Amino acid sequence: MSKASLEDVLVAKLFLKAAFPAMRVPLEENPKYVKKFKDLNMVVEFKAEDEENPLAAHLVFLTEEKANEVADGKRYKVHDGVYEGAFGDLKVIKLHFKSIKALLGVLKGNTPLDMLGIVPSVFKNLFKKEFWAFLFLMLELMKMMPDFVPGVDKPLDQYMKVKMSLYMITTAMSQANKLGYEPMNKWTQKQTDRIYQFRVGPTFDADGKEIFPKFGAYLRVKGGKTKAGRGLYERKSPFVLLDFPNPDACIAVLSGKYAFVEAVVQGCVQIIGAGDSYAVSFNDRMMDIQNMLIPSKFLK
């Protein structure tokens, strides 16, 4: 049995704890996936073998009726560990990998060869409609890659990319801190109660009608502890507010069209708050963790 590096273990955990939860965005807001998963009750179980740090997580998908029977009422949730029947006798799709390296090859592979780790799971689930529904949903995560740059003529793709990306990166930053990632631990350790807030303005069509609302995501930092949240934090003013007028402006930053400082000059983002000088260090930590989750071919 192979032994993964501590960095690979961290990255794999960030995918399970931060990237996979972001799939809730298309599940709830993309009509294609709302329809596809409307009547599905199922579990997708991920498992990666390792000599010291074996990983397992399961993703639960429930119909509205089934979700109303469980405690928190959530139709989609990511749980640690293998599925042990907590939601009853659901269809279970098992995606098991011989190593963490094989799992990461599928999740962030640079080449088609890296993707071969999923082949055994494909053959085992070839005739299960639930597997194919999930596989196409998982491919939605590819929209967060830097090379996916939808134009203003594709407002749904822009909205999906930006919302998933901001939900994912704020969660990943918090999880990296909780998992002991030293650069995040050092950055958060001496900070007082601070909110780092993203706000993205609404999307309008050519006639000026709003087609997608404004949204936000934030990271709360306090004495070395962190918590990620969705929406706009309302109990106190942000220490740093990164304010994007619309998803298109945010994509200019996410895709690397402009470096952070240049994006401010170009009007793609406005920095508001008493902690504006901390915005650069926040962006540095954000980019550090984002780069862990993308294929190395995108790194300069």
Q: Are 58 and 48 in contact (CB under 8 A)?
A: no
CA distance 16 to 132: 19
Let me know if 139 is exposed, middle or buried by CB neighbors in 10 A (0-12, 13-18, 19+): exposed
The tokens of 161 are what? 């990319």
Question: Could you tell me the residue ranges of all domains in the chain?
Answer: 6-144, 155-298
Q: Residue 185: its pLDDT value, please? A: 97
What does the pLDDT average to over 250-276?
86
What residues have CB less than 8 Å from 74, skipping those under 6 apart? Answer: 62, 67
Q: Residue 260 pLDDT > 90, yes or no?
A: no
Beta bridge partners, 242, equal: 198, 271
Q: Residue 3: its pLDDT value, please? A: 92
Q: Residue 278: its pLDDT value, please? A: 84
Model confidence over 22-40: pLDDT tens digits?
999 999 999 999 999 999 9
What does the pLDDT average to over 69-92?
89
The fold adopted by the segment(s) 155-298 is Nonspecific Lipid-transfer Protein; Chain A (3.30.1050)
pTM value > 0.85:
yes
List the beta strands (DSSP E) in the chain.
42-48, 55-61, 76-80, 91-97, 194-200, 203-204, 210-212, 215-222, 225-230, 240-244, 270-272
CA distance 143 to 157: 8
Q: Are 295 and 146 in contact (CB under 8 A)?
A: no
Scored b (16 or more CB within 10 A) or e, 195-212 reads bbbbbbbebeeeeeeeeb
> Residue 300 — pLDDT band, cuts 50, 70, 90?
low
Model confidence over 105-146: pLDDT tens digits?
999 877 777 778 888 888 998 889 999 999 999 999 999 998
Residue 194: phi and psi, rounded to 5, are: -135, 145
CA distance 100 to 220: 30
